[in-house]
């Protein structure tokens, strides 16, 4: 029903010069609700709800920019290729040069020389185009901190020249290397300085495995050259070498399967399911923790104990390499050969002890928790139940005892 004397804006309030907003505001100011709502309810219903809605919208926009425009997964794939040694030849030349320098006892503490070798390795690699620029990856040397740092350095400097360079530098010879990759902004919000530090810890462990494998491959070539002089002692060298090589190869394959492939697939699935920047950061942190755990570099006492035994076996691989290096470079003197035989027996005995310890601990962890990657590792090490039966009985100790006993009654063959 139309009333006379009313302005058009009162009848059609959405027309120009409408007075509807002022009338609504006046009504809100004058109305008296039956019950006064709590301030918290007012904040949640009228403010927080709409703020969260806007935050979610902005988060989706940022996430879309991260994945599509800023190519987050491509950048994480570069970190994977570098720090998890996923690229076939990106660091191959660099590591080969460094490993040979360690074997020859040459100095390698010049950062300029190291980066020159690194740039040559990248430029000659088929995967060199992974990096935005060759100098986006640099290597530096971190000096050992602590009260015994100078003492350790001096001991290494005045070590006896008769001592093998491999033994002098040890399996931790590359622990001072630190690789720094310049992550582009804003992706450094995800792969920040702390994340790069964790990547370096994982890479340091993988370099130990790679160096042990490199040494055993060289030792095998020397042994093949001297296979015509086969004897019982020589056959035992082959047995010890195969034990060490099986462990290193099995562990290396475990790392590549679990750390390089499986963990990456889980990361991709988590990133696809993420709905905000916080969730993306949480997925990446979970990914780093997973590969740290599978490489036994998490700050946990039991995990550190397992890692110490693995490091011991990798160190035994270098000791075995040192023995073969001595024998292949003129170790025909009977006293040298006898000393080498004693060392091989020591290596085998320590290896069997480490394997027995590892299988006990890993089997215990399998019984008390859910660690599928440990089950995979046990299966690879204990292939065909060579060290431990299906019922959990270890064979290593008895087998080693029988080997030592039989060896003690055999004549020494030069």
Confidence at 149, pLDDT banded by 50, 70, 90 = very low
* Per-residue confidence (pLDDT) for residue 127, from 0 to 100: 77
Question: Who's near 172: CB < 8 A, 6+ residues apart?
Answer: 208, 311
CA atoms within 13 A on the CB side of 263: 26
Asked if the model's pLDDT at residue 162 lies above 80, the reply is no
- Strand locations in 149-279 (E): 177-181
- Mean pLDDT score, 84-98: 86
Residue 39 tokens read as 């301030």
Q: What is the pLDDT of residues 348-395, one digit of tens each?
A: 999 999 998 888 888 776 654 567 777 888 888 888 778 877 776 777
Pick the CATH number of 64-143+170-408 from 1.20.120.1900, 3.50.50.60, 3.40.50.620, 3.40.1710.10: 1.20.120.1900
Q: Are 237 and 344 in contact (CB under 8 A)?
A: yes
pLDDT for 266: 92
Cα 352 to chain centroid, rounded: 26
Residue 350: predicted pLDDT: 92
Within 10 angstroms of residue 404's Cβ, the number of other Cβ atoms is: 12
Per-residue pLDDT tens digits for 15-24: 555 566 667 6
How far, in Å, CA of 276 to CA of 288, rounded?
19
Q: How much is the average pLDDT of 277-294?
A: 91
Q: What is the pLDDT of residue 336?
A: 80
| Out of 38-42, 305-309, 357-361, least confident range | 38-42
Please answer whether residues 82 and 118 qualify as being in contact, where contact means their C-beta atoms are separated by less than 8 angstroms.
Answer: no
What pLDDT, on the 0 to 100 scale, is given for residue 157?
A: 34
> CA-to-CA distance for 154 and 82, rounded, in angstroms?
33
Among 204, 2, 225, 245, smallest CA distance to 85 is for 204
| DSSP helix/strand/coil, 181 | strand
Least confident window among 12-21, 225-234, 241-250, 347-356: 12-21
Q: From the CB of residue 210, how many other CB atoms can be counted at a distance below 10 Å?
A: 21
- Give one word for 3, left, alpha or beta, with left for phi > 0 and alpha for psi -120 to 50: beta
Considering only the C-alpha atoms of the chain, give the largest distance between any 2 of them, rounded to a whole number of Å.
129
Which of 70, 78, 67 has its CA nearest to residue 274?
67
The residue assigned the tokens 């995967």 is 127
Give residues with Cβ within 8 angstroms of 307, minimum separation 6. 205, 296, 297
Whether 396 has a pLDDT exceeding 70, the answer reads no
Residue with tokens 């042994």: 223
How many other C-beta atoms lie within 10 A of the C-beta of residue 278? 10
User: Average pLDDT, whole number, for the chain?
Assistant: 77
Q: What is the pLDDT averaged over residues 35-51?
A: 69
Sequence ranges of the domains in the chain: 64-143+170-408
Q: Which parts of 16-108 fold into alpha helices (H)?
A: 20-30, 39-43, 49-64, 72-83, 92-104
pLDDT tens, position by position, 200-215: 999 999 999 999 999 9
Residue 408: per-residue pLDDT: 36
Find tokens 């904040």 and name the residue.
Answer: 43
Give Cα separations from 178 to 142, 201, 203, 210, 255 (angstroms). Answer: 7, 9, 9, 16, 20
């Amino acid at each position: 029903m139309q009333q006379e004397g009313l302005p058009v804006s009162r009848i059609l309030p959405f027309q120009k010069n409408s007075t509807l907003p002022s009338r609504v505001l006046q009504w809100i100011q004058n109305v008296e609700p039956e019950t006064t709502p709590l301030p918290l309810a007012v904040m949640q219903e009228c403010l927080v709800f709409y703020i969260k809605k806007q935050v979610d919208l902005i988060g989706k926009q940022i996430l879309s920019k991260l994945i599509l425009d800023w190519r987050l997964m491509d950048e994480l794939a570069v970190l994977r290729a570098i720090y998890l040694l996923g690229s076939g030849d990106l660091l191959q030349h660099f590591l080969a040069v460094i490993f040979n320098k360690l074997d020859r006892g040459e100095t390698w503490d010049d950062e300029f020389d190291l980066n020159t070798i690194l740039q040559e390795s990248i430029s000659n690699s088929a995967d060199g185009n992974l990096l935005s620029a060759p100098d986006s990856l640099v290597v530096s040397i971190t000096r050992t901190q602590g009260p015994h740092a100078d003492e350790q350095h001096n001991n290494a400097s005045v070590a006896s020249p008769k001592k093998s360079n491999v033994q002098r530098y040890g399996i931790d010879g590359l622990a001072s290397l630190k690789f720094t990759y310049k992550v582009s902004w804003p992706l450094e919000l995800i792969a920040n300085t702390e994340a790069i530090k964790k990547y370096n810890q994982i890479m340091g462990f993988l370099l130990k495995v790679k160096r042990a494998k490199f040494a055993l491959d060289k030792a095998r070539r020397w042994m093949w050259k001297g296979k015509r002089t086969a004897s019982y002692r020589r056959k035992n060298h082959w047995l010890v070498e195969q034990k060490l090589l099986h462990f290193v190869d099995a562990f290396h394959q475990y790392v590549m399967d679990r750390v390089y492939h499986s963990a990456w697939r889980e990361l991709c699935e988590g990133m696809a399911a993420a709905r905000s920047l916080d969730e993306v950061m949480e997925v990446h942190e979970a990914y780093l923790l997973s590969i740290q755990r599978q490489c036994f570099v998490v700050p946990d006492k039991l995990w550190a104990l397992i890692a110490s035994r693995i490091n011991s076996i990798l160190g035994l691989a270098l000791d075995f390499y040192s023995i073969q290096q001595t024998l292949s470079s003129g170790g025909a003197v009977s006293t040298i050969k006898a000393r080498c035989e004693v060392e091989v027996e020591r290596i085998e005995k320590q290896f069997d002890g480490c394997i027995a310890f590892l299988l006990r601990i890993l089997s215990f962890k399998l019984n008390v928790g859910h660690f599928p990657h440990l089950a995979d590792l046990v299966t690879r090490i204990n292939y065909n139940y060579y060290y431990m039966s299906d019922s959990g009985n270890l064979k290593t100790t008895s087998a080693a005892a029988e080997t030592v006993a039989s060896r003690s009654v055999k004549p020494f063959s030069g």
